[in-house]
Structure 1
């Protein structure tokens, strides 16, 4: 049961919180879209896998299940791969570079100062470049915040995997702003953007 009275109690996880306080909802959804969907040497599926691991380490069941479904829908190996990574990224069947980045993300959940040169050196030795290291730490740090937001207000977490699979289907054909109930914004023709 949520710690606060949510107006839209039918929306589980972060959805009810975003409906409760629409002011911060748009920038939070924009942040998720930028971190997880915009250009990066890490695929959207790999970034979602990082979020699933971080959320698992933070014991945020909503984010673990939602982002786990998003990762599973975008990665070969699907749900079995996500579950293996959340159990133990070191023994999961992923390439060494991704394994080192997952370890780096897991360390971020302990705190920023827990990241040591040897964690970064391992990622570099496995072939990760500075952008991949940067994006891994940023995604992990941002989703520690999202996890604390969702868990700190004790939002509802459905048990039915179909809820998360449906969200994943929606995400694959749209973006995070749409998941939050906001329509996509068309580019402003006066800005020169297309």
Structure 2
């Protein structure tokens, strides 16, 4: 049961955004920019995977399940790759560069302080550019905010995987702006 009364039955952040379109629209636009548009060296699937990973680390089921489905729909290897990353990012079948960026994201999620020089050096050794680091840190930081919004207000999260698959199809086709 959500901590606030919603005039809709939408789960997770969807219900919050529908309740408050004045704040929902800019939050959707931020997600669209971070995860789908913008000039990023990361693919849409990789950006969604970072969002899913941070949401998983933050124990936010709605966001973790949503962005896992969105990533799976856009990554080669789909749900198997996403599941492997969430279970053991170091052993997952993803490129070394992406593993290094997931370590960056984990540091952002864990502490509100600079990512360690060692972690940045390791990412750079795998080919991370300033743009990779910028985008990873911004996605991780934004998803800490989104996760706290969803969890802080105790929103509901569907348990049926089909919900997330349908939502993934919509987001992949139309984006976050269409969800507003």
Which residue of 1 is the match for residue 4 of structure 2?
A: 4
Which residue of 1 is the match for residue 14 of structure 2?
A: 15
| Contact 1:167 1:179 (C-alpha < 8 Å) held by counterparts | no
Which residue of 1 is the match for residue 170 of structure 2?
A: 170
| Contact 1:72 1:82 (C-alpha < 8 Å) held by counterparts | yes
Rg larger for:
1
Question: Would you identify which runs of 4 or more consecutive aligned residues in structure 1 move more than 2 Å?
Answer: none
1:28 matched to 2:27? The reply is: yes
Which residue of 2 is the match for residue 104 of structure 1?
A: 104
Instruction: Supply the distance in 2 between the matched residues of 1:67 and 1:24 (Cα, whole angstroms).
Output: 20
**Superposed CA offset, 1:162-186 (max 9, x none):** 1000011111210102123xxxxxx
Give the gaps of 5 or more residues in structure 1.
181-194
Equivalent positions of 1:28-177 (< 5 A) are: 28-38=27-37, 39-113=39-113, 115-177=115-177
**Superposed CA offset, 1:30-82 (max 9, x none):** 00000001121000000000001000000000000000000000001111111
Structure number with greater CO (CA < 8 Å, separation at least 6) is 2
Instruction: Supply the distance in 1 between the matched residues of 2:99 and 2:55 (Cα, whole angstroms).
Output: 17
TM-score, scaled relative to structure 2: 0.97
Question: How far does residue 112 in structure 1 lie from its aligned partner after superposition?
Answer: 2.9
TM-score, scaled relative to structure 1: 0.90
| Contact 1:45 1:70 (C-alpha < 8 Å) held by counterparts | yes
Give the gaps of 5 or more residues in structure 2.
none
| Contact 1:104 1:119 (C-alpha < 8 Å) held by counterparts | yes
Question: How far does residue 114 in structure 1 lie from its aligned partner after superposition?
Answer: 5.5
Root-mean-square deviation (Å): 0.9
Instruction: Supply the distance in 2 between the matched residues of 1:152 and 1:87 (Cα, whole angstroms).
Output: 25
Instruction: Supply the distance in 1 between the matched residues of 2:114 and 2:175 (Cα, whole angstroms).
Output: 32
